[in-house]
Chains A and B, each alone.
Chain A
């Protein structure tokens, strides 16, 4: 199977996000950026499928400014075969991203498209499902276990009530949960080798899709601050406060 994996560059999950004073967004200058965590799981799963002999080629794709290439290089360093960077400026909404990915899918004709279930910047949780809709493919979202069959996948999904198992025929979209696997680290020799793997550049504006913003961001603000709490001296005092002051037990 040929697998296309979509990866996104986001503010690293360990960074304390700060809101810009002018309310136009969050501070990204001089902030550590990384691959969106569940996208790492998507890459890992594709590599595992290839290692099991069931996967043929892995293509990693990202959309964004020049620096977004780092996420593709990272995917190449852990086992993707080649990369695609769709160049675009500014923030794209998931609908625009899925329209761009649709064009890439039509060109690459993968059997599977993997990506993280959600990006930890905008927290939209939309792109995989939207891409599936545009392609009229089945979608296996929030996957925590994948069993590759001949022309289908059996996927266990994380749902509110527990676990759900579905079978999707290929071609299909899978969005990956953090529980799917443990992403490996790239070794130094593999990071060096990844620099020689092919990475194609495409301009988003050449794809002929409407990627205009439909959602106007009016302002971004800090969430309401918690009022300073108090320290209690003993467990007995804590329990009394919870019962009589906060009235939560």
Chain B
């Protein structure tokens, strides 16, 4: 049997995490089909057909799918699920919202947020916010799997030529209405996908001092994060919170400034490739996970850091 991947898109473009999920899905089953549910999303269908790992694109085109609602997508997926051994999508807010609704109707116990495919029925997934890794084997006939996007490379989008076939729509669900989507307009990258993240903790002392952080974030094209302590103290809004109860981030570079390193914060960032800690308390637990630790007063270190970064640019130019 084949695997069916559910695409996330905005009717114009494929959302990037779908490409990471395609990589994982093709490790589960090489005969990978993609289900595209949308409205006037022909361009998206073409993009998906161009992904070399994709063998077939099933395109369900209907105006009721202009805005994504799990209630409307689910019956379409269930209708198409019959011929597939695995139903797969990305474990971002799209897939997290959608897949359990599908799994329950298929009477399948879903495996969420996998970070490695061990075999077609066995996967590695983090539990306790990454403080433990569980190897799990699904015994269900039909498996529903969501993929942690940052654990897989995105699939290439050129070189493939999958066939595009039309799929059947389902009835619209009447008990829900889409009202609006407000996209956060920020010049900075999203916290969840940024290559560099710089976070401030209680050591920042007040919200005004976060300017020292944002200046460096602008320089490095980084997202701005914060510890729960900084959020609780009101220095910054909680959409910046990194940690077990906030966002889990896996950037190439994570810079923790004035963050002592509480367990719940470490759970949200310790998988980062390179970790830098700047803290005046040399005994702070954050140093135990840092690749590079600088024991210094952040109010002296941050302006110097910016200055050094500026110098680098001058050299490069």
Which residues of A116-145 are within 8 A (CB) of B? 120-134, 137-139, 141-142
Chain A contacts for B156, CB-based, 8 A:
none
Chain B contacts for A133, CB-based, 8 A:
74, 100-102, 104-105
Q: Is the CB of A130 within 8 A of B292?
A: no
Q: Is the CB of B126 within 8 A of A249?
A: no
User: Between A and B, how many residue pairs show CB distances below 8 Å?
Assistant: 251
Q: Does B189 contact A (CB under 8 A)?
A: no
Given contacts A126-B103, A220-B133, A238-B292, contact A167 B176 (CB under 8 A): yes
Residue-wise, chain B 101-124 has the 8 Å CB interface mask toward A (1 for contact) of 111110111111100000000100
Given contacts A160-B94, A161-B181, A166-B178, contact A229 B275 (CB under 8 A): yes
Q: Is the CB of A129 within 8 A of B131?
A: no
Which of B104, B112, B244 counts the most A-chain CB atoms under 10 A from its CB?
B104
We find that the number of chain B residues with CB closer than 8 angstroms to chain A is 89
Q: Which residue on A lies nearest to B98, using beta carbons?
A: A129
Residue-wise, chain B 183-221 has the 8 Å CB interface mask toward A (1 for contact) of 110000010100010000000000000000000000010
Given contacts A126-B112, A223-B131, contact A214 B140 (CB under 8 A): yes
Q: Is the CB of A231 within 8 A of B180?
A: no
Chain A contacts for B182, CB-based, 8 A:
162-165
Chain B contacts for A167, CB-based, 8 A:
176-177, 179
Q: Does B29 contact A (CB under 8 A)?
A: no
Interface-forming stretch among A14-22, A46-54, A77-85? A14-22
Residue-wise, chain A 25-43 has the 8 Å CB interface mask toward B (1 for contact) of 0100000000001100000
Chain A contacts for B304, CB-based, 8 A:
235-236
Find A246's partner among B190, B238, B291 (CB 8 Å cutoff).
B291
Q: Is the CB of A178 within 8 A of B238?
A: yes
Q: Is the CB of A129 within 8 A of B101?
A: yes
In the complex, what distance in Å separates the CA atom of A247 from the CA atom of B74? 44
Q: Is the CB of B309 within 8 A of A249?
A: yes
In the complex, what distance in Å separates the CA atom of A220 from the CA atom of B108? 22
Chain A contacts for B252, CB-based, 8 A:
248
Chain B contacts for A132, CB-based, 8 A:
101
Q: Is the CB of A121 within 8 A of B127?
A: yes
The 7 A-B pairs of least Cβ separation, nearest first, read A214-B109, A129-B100, A130-B104, A133-B104, A126-B100, A162-B184, A138-B176
B residues sitting closer than 8 Å to A (CB atoms) are 17, 69-71, 74, 92-94, 96-105, 107-113, 122, 126-140, 173-184, 190, 192, 196, 220, 238-239, 244-246, 252-253, 262-264, 270-271, 273-276, 282, 287, 289-296, 301, 304-305, 308-309, 312
* Beyond A13-B245, A129-B104, A157-B93, 8 additional pairs, beta carbon < 8 A: A94-B109, A139-B70, A172-B175, A223-B130, A239-B305, A242-B292, A246-B274, A248-B196
A residues sitting closer than 8 Å to B (CB atoms) are 11, 13-17, 19, 26, 37-38, 93-96, 98, 120-134, 137-139, 141-142, 154, 157-169, 172, 178-179, 213-223, 226, 229-232, 234-236, 238-239, 241-243, 246, 248-249
